[in-house]
Each structure stands twice: as structure tokens, then as C-alpha cells.
């Protein structure tokens, strides 16, 4: 049976790190935590629950997660964010496939999001995410801050059960993250030489809102769905606006 490591990155996650780590108990053989200079009690709380604790200034979401996977002792890696945790059903599903992990290069499962005051039953659900992978055949890729596991060879299997994602505890938290993530995304777009027109902020924002609120049926999630979709519109609009204004300057 292949050994399994959990690889996690953290920064000021004292409120969520313990629940995340405890959800891995009995599922993995090792837990690796890469912390990027937390100033709260994250490392203190995590230290008794992890096998490897690495301090590394933040390199970017993709780079930091690949570093965590590289520091693992085993080739099979389960990657979680600190605001995520395994449900008992998902933990049981992972244990059930341990002896046949190598049938695929990676495995995916659904993620269910808690937003401000409720679980979203339609928006961003079911959101399939590859988080269990053979690092010899897959690695973190994508564009910061929207990382994803990229499989270079082999197939992707599916697991039963949800990964619970406690995304934003308040509207203010979403707005704060919007500011940070749009800075990162705009910098990535500028570095790639992406050209943005004057209408792109509006068209990309409008498409984002329509896709989430109508096509993904965010309207069925009540005010929480409306709020999440509206701020997602703002995320797209602000990201493209930052690139456009930088190009004009």
C-alpha cells in the first residue's frame, strides 16, 4: 500500500489550522506544513500535530504548494488549504482506495463552501478539485493565485465525500481577499504581457456574474449567493481594471 503524505501551506491560520490537521488523523502517514512567517499562534498550535514544519517566506501559491509537496517523504501527496477539512465520508473514501492509488495519477473530490452564514448548496457546488496526486506524475500549476493540480500523465479517479471549505466568515473578509488576490492576478497578467481593453473589466465581470448567478444557480442560495456572485463580479472587474490602468500609465 503506497504511503501518503499531507502537504499544507499556512500563514496566520490559528483559528483554522487545528481543525484542518485533525481531519487528516488516521488518513495519512505524514503531515508536512510549510509556514510563510505567521505572526500569530499558527506554528505553536500546529507543531504537535505535524511531522515536518518548514518556515519559508511566501513564494507564490503555486510555488509554495510545490515546495510543500517536495518536502514530503512520500510520492503520494494529499494537499489541503488551512480553511479546508475532510468530512468523515471523504476520509473513509481515501482510506478505501489506499491499496489501489496507483490505478490513477491523481484523485479528485468535491468541495463544499461555507460563505458568511451558510453552506452554499448550488454556487461552487459540486466543485471537483484534484488534491490527491502522485508527485511524479502531477504538480501544482495554474496562475497565481488560482492554483490547480496539473497531471502530466495518467488518469484522474474520483472519490466520494465532500471537502468542507470555510471560505469567508464575513463580507469584509471577502473584500479584503479580493484586494489581495486581484493585486496578485493583475501582476501575473502584466508579467505575461496580457493586453486589456477598456471594456474588458465590464465584460469579464458581467460574464462572471452571469455564469455564477444564473448558470451555476447561485440565485438559489439566497442573499449569500447574491453577495458572493456580486463580489465575484467585482473581483473580475477590479483585476482587469488594475491591468488596464497600469498599461495606461
In the chain, residues under CATH classification 3.90.550.10 are 4-168
With 0.85 as the threshold, say if the pTM is over it. yes
Q: How confident is the model at residue 144 (pLDDT cuts 50, 70, 90)?
A: confident
Q: What are the tens digits of pLDDT across the range 28-78?
A: 999 999 999 999 999 999 999 999 999 999 999 999 999 999 999 999 999
State how far the Cα of 162 lies from the Cα of 147, in Å rounded to an integer.
19
pLDDT for 1: 83
Q: Residue 241 is placed in which grid cell?
A: 481594471
| Residue 106 preceded by cis peptide, ω within 30 | no
Q: What is the rounded average pLDDT of the residues 105-134?
A: 97
Per the CB < 8 A criterion, the answer to whether 78 and 131 are in contact is yes
CA atoms within 13 A on the CB side of 25: 8
Q: Which long-range contacts (CB under 8 A, 24 or more apart) does 146-149 make?
A: 146/185, 147/61, 147/62, 147/65, 149/79, 149/106
Q: What are the tens digits of pLDDT across the range 165-187?
A: 998 999 999 999 999 999 999 99
Q: In this model, does residue 92 exceed pLDDT 90?
A: yes
The closest of 68, 67, 30 to 50, measured between CA atoms, is 30
Q: In this model, does residue 120 exceed pLDDT 90?
A: yes
Q: In this model, does residue 95 exceed pLDDT 90?
A: yes
Q: What is the rounded average pLDDT of the residues 190-219?
A: 97
The closest of 78, 74, 69 to 133, measured between CA atoms, is 78
Mean pLDDT (the chain) is 96
Q: In this model, does residue 249 exceed pLDDT 90?
A: no
| Domain with residues 4-168, CATH architecture | Alpha-Beta Complex (3.90)
Q: What is the rounded average pLDDT of the residues 78-82?
A: 97
Amino acid at each position: 500500500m503506497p504511503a501518503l503524505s499531507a502537504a499544507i501551506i499556512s500563514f496566520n491560520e490559528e483559528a483554522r489550522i487545528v481543525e484542518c490537521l485533525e481531519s487528516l488523523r488516521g488518513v495519512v502517514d505524514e503531515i508536512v506544513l510549510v509556514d510563510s512567517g505567521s505572526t500569530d499562534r499558527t506554528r505553536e498550535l500546529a507543531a504537535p500535530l505535524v511531522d515536518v514544519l518548514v518556515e519559508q517566506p511566501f513564494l507564490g501559491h503555486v510555488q509554495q504548494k510545490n515546495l510543500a509537496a517536495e518536502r514530503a517523504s512520500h510520492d503520494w501527496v494529499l494537499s489541503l488549504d488551512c480553511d479546508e477539512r475532510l468530512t468523515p465520508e471523504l476520509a473513509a473514501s481515501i482510506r478505501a482506495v489506499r491499496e489501489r492509488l496507483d490505478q490513477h495519477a491523481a484523485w479528485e473530490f468535491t468541495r463544499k463552501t461555507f460563505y458568511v452564514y451558510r453552506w452554499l448548496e448550488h454556487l461552487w457546488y459540486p466543485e471537483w478539485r484534484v488534491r490527491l496526486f502522485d508527485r511524479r506524475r502531477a504538480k501544482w500549476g495554474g496562475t497565481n493565485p488560482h492554483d490547480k493540480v496539473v497531471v502530466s500523465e495518467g488518469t484522474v479517479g474520483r472519490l466520494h465525500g465532500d471537502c468542507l471549505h470555510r471560505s469567508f466568515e464575513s463580507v469584509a473578509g471577502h473584500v479584503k481577499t479580493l484586494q489581495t488576490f486581484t493585486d496578485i492576478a493583475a501582476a501575473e497578467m502584466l508579467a505575461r504581457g496580457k493586453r486589456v481593453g477598456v471594456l474588458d473589466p465590464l465584460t469579464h465581470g458581467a460574464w462572471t456574474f452571469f455564469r455564477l448567478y444564473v448558470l451555476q444557480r447561485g440565485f438559489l442560495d439566497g442573499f449569500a449567493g447574491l453577495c458572493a456572485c456580486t463580489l465575484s463580479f467585482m473581483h473580475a472587474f477590479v483585476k482587469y481594471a488594475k491591468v488596464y490602468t497600469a498599461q495606461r500609465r
